[in-house]
Structure 1
């Protein structure tokens, strides 16, 4: 089972995302800050997530700093990072992409929209060598 790390200041968003993503056979771990996420990932039993859902509106940091911090962590360096936005903001989206984000999701989301945004990143696996 793959792991999804949800970093969002709202525990409700994390809980809803967890319930939806469990239907995709994803185990979800939640943190309210990038620092909290790093602490969770530092635990010996913590699995490297295949996917990270990162809020663009975390307090005390910028989205590009958050993405760079995740890319610098060995456990999240290769994960697909999707930035969660409330509205389409070209500046925020450009900074996130330049920092290493793979894509975006928009809040509020429902089951269908979250699955539609996440599935392409879960299916993008490397081919198996023959």
Structure 2
């Protein structure tokens, strides 16, 4: 079973994403802060997909994602949930290992599109 780790400070985002992704057949877990992810990876191994909430106000998030990405390895796909298109932030996130972006607030279709692109590449081609 594919695994997904969701990190976001907002409980409602974690709850909604958890429910939607669990229905997709993923083994999903949630965390509030990126700093908790290193311990989670040490205990459970790297998730197949990491979905992390990003705020332009958080000056440490890019560095935290880079460290998580390095610990998780190259097989872990990282998706950043952002509120607005901020080219500078998006560029820094890309350099830190983020593969894609999901705009908040998201709906089921947007979330599924991101998940299927990384976890079921053959469906993305159809």
TM-score over 0.5 for the alignment? yes
Q: Which one of the candidate residues 83, 86, 89 is aligned to 2:86? A: 89
8 A contact 1:5–1:29 mirrored in 2 = yes
Q: Between Structure 1 and Structure 2, how many residues are aligned?
A: 121
- Superposed, 1:1-130 pairs within 5 Å as 1-43=1-43, 46-57=44-55, 61-73=59-71, 76-78=72-74, 79-124=76-121
TM-score, normalising length: structure 1? 0.84
8 A contact 1:41–1:47 mirrored in 2 = yes
TM-score, normalising length: structure 2? 0.86
8 A contact 1:84–1:104 mirrored in 2 = yes
Distance 2:38 2:99 in 1: 19
Runs of at least 5 residues in structure 2 that lack an aligned partner in the other structure: none
8 A contact 1:5–1:51 mirrored in 2 = yes
Alpha-carbon displacement from aligned partner over 1:95-124 (angstroms, at most 9, x marks no partner): 000111111111001111111122111124
Runs of at least 5 residues in structure 1 that lack an aligned partner in the other structure: 126-130
**Cα RMSD (Å):** 1.9
